[in-house]
Structure 1
Amino acid sequence: MLTKGDLTTSELLLLNSEMNKREKSLGLAYLMLLAGHLGVHRFYLKRIASGVVQLCLFILAFVLYFVFAIAAGIESVDSPETAYSLLLLIPVILFGLALTVWVIVDACLLPGLVRDWNAKLEQSLVEQISAFRATAEFAKPEADGTGNSGRPLDL
C-alpha cells in the first residue's frame, strides 16, 4: 500500500492541491457550531444522520415552545387548565437541555472530527494516485533500446 511518503514531487503537489480544495476547516466548523442547535456543523462534516436528529430536536422544541406560549396566553392564570400548558414546557426544557449538552460535547469533539475527516480524505486521495500510477505504469510501453516497444505490431 502506498503512503504519502512514497509519492513523487508532482504527486505530492497534486495531493496538496486536491486537499486544499476538499479538506474541512476547523475554524469554519466552529463558526457553524454557533448555530449548533440546528446541526449545521454536523452536515458540514458529512454526519447527516446526527445532523438531522439535532435539527429535528430543535424544530420540535421550537414548535412546542410556541404552542406553550400560545396556550399560556389563552388560558387565564386562575384556570385549572394552566397545568396542561405547563406540561408542554417539560419537553421544551428537556429537548433544549439535550441539545445544549450535545453542542458542548461537539465543541470538544470538533477538532478530532475534522482531523479524522481530513485524514480519510488524504488516504483516499493517496489511494487514487496509487491506482492512477499503477494504470500509467501498465500502459507505459517497454523500450528495447531501438525506439520500438519490443511488441509485434497488430495488423
Structure 2
Amino acid sequence: MNKSDLTLNELLVFNSEMKNVEKSAAIAYLMLIGGHLGVHRFYLKKKVSAIIQLVLFLIASGGYIFFAFMTAFIDEGIGSVALFVVSLVLFLVPAIALLIWIIVDLCLISRMVREYNSVLEHQLVEQIIHHRTHQQQQQF
C-alpha cells in the first residue's frame, strides 16, 4: 500500500501525523556539528552507531588528556617514551576514525533522513489502512 490508496480524509490525517514525526535533514546537518558525539545518529534512531561514535569520542578525549599529561611530565626514560607513544595512539586512532566517519556522514545524512522518513511513511500508511479495514468490519 502507499499514499495514493488513501482517501482525502485519510491523507489529511497522514500529512498531519507525518509533520509531527518526520525527521528534518536541516536539523540532522545542524546536529552533525556535534557529530563527534553521535548526536545526529541518535536523532535518526541509529542508536548502535551513535553509541559507537560517542565511545570513540570518549576514548579519543581520554587519550588526549593522557597525551597532554604525558607531554607535560615526560622524562627521558624508556618507560615514559612508551607511555607517550601509547597515549598518542589512544588519541590519534579513535580521533582519525571519528573524523573520517563524520566526513562520510556528511555525505550520507540526506539519504539516512529519506530512508527514515520512508519507513515512517510506510508504517503510517499501514496503520491508516488497518484502521480503515477495522472500521469497515465493525460496520458489518
TM-score (norm 1): 0.85
Q: Is 1:58 the counterpart of 2:57 in the alignment?
A: yes
Check the 8 A contact 1:65/1:89 in 2, yes or no: yes
Whether the 8 Å CA contact 1:72–1:82 is kept in 2: the answer is: no
CA distance in 2, matches of 1:67, 1:88: 6
Task: Please state whether the residue corresponding to 2:94 is helix, strand or coil.
Answer: helix
Query: Which structure exhibits the higher relative contact order, with contacts defined as CA atoms closer than 8 Å and separated by 6 or more residues?
Result: 2
1:68 positional shift: 1.5
Q: Cα offset for 1:129? A: 0.3
- Distance (Å, rounded) in 2 between the aligned partners of 1:126 and 1:140: 21
| Structure 2, unaligned runs of 5 or more | none
Q: Is the 2:74–2:81 contact (alpha carbons within 8 Å) kept by the matching residues of 1?
A: no
Q: Sequence identity of aligned pairs in percent?
A: 42
Number of corresponding residues: 139
- Alpha-carbon RMSD: 1.2
The structure 1 segments of at least 4 consecutive aligned residues displaced by more than 6 Å after TM superposition are none
Aligned-residue offset at 1:71: 2.1
CA contact (8 A) 1:4 1:126 kept: yes
More helix by share: 2
Provide the C-alpha distance between the structure 1 equivalents of 2:49 and 2:81, rounded to a whole number of angstroms: 34
Structure 1: unaligned runs, 5 residues or longer: 142-155
Structure with max Cα Rg: 1
CA distance in 2, matches of 1:134, 1:31: 41
